Amino acid sequence: MAESASPPAPMFSLRGCVAIVTGASQGLGRETARALAEAGSDVALVARNAARLETLAEEIGQAGRRVLCLPADVTRPEEIKAAISRIAGDWGRIDVLVNNAGITRDGLVMRMKREDWDSVLQTNLTGAFLCTQAVLPVMIKARYGRVINMASVMGQMGGAGAVNYSASKAGLIGFTKALAREVASRNITVNAVAPGFFDTAMTGELPENTLRQVLETIPLGRAGAAREVAAGVVYLASREAGYVTGHVLCINGGMYM
């Protein structure tokens, strides 16, 4: 009797992978870390809020995945280098980097303080550069990697009153495309996810008329769920996405086409 073939691995499985998620303490980063763990990846959580990271680590650990909590500020090179060194040392590999850390400091450009411009660009764009630069030697040595940058619909269409945020996310899209060309020969893909309008604690505070006006600009007629962004990240992190690079995955309900 012929031996039965072993069942194929499920699609989008990340079993055996090590993923890093920055800005993992809340919002899209938190949901992304959960989704990566559910897909089978061990996860290193990076953010400034250590208490929130520990809470999330408990949840992920209960699902049987390895977790590292690494309180760090992505704008501080020495903290990022120390975090990456520990992950590579403890786990021996880094397969996926999700550059999710980001902040907002909205205001009209004529009244915007220089520190509000600088802090948003440093966190959202320079932070992604520093994390990627620290991780690339590990990925290049392994000749494998997935870098996923959390951009925004505002980096594509702009947002009045958010020139600093829009500029940082547009810059992140350019960073994605340029880096994808640099590292493609090493079997490393670099992609971006551009979320639209999502249900978050921040959007929940909007006045009802403002919320209605925003929803009217979305063809699907609703806000997105963080889980829908996380699903896009899992796909881009998977081996099945090995022929996708330099791409911006728009998850916005048709808000921008």
> Which residues form the catalytic set?
165
CA distance 245 to 242: 8
CA distance 65 to 16: 10
Dihedral, CA of residue 103, residue 99, residue 196 and residue 113, to nearest 10: 20
Q: In what order do the strands lie in the sheet with 18-22?
A: 67-71, 42-47, 18-22, 96-99, 145-150, 188-195, 248-251
CA distance 257 to 240: 25
CA distance 52 to 201: 15
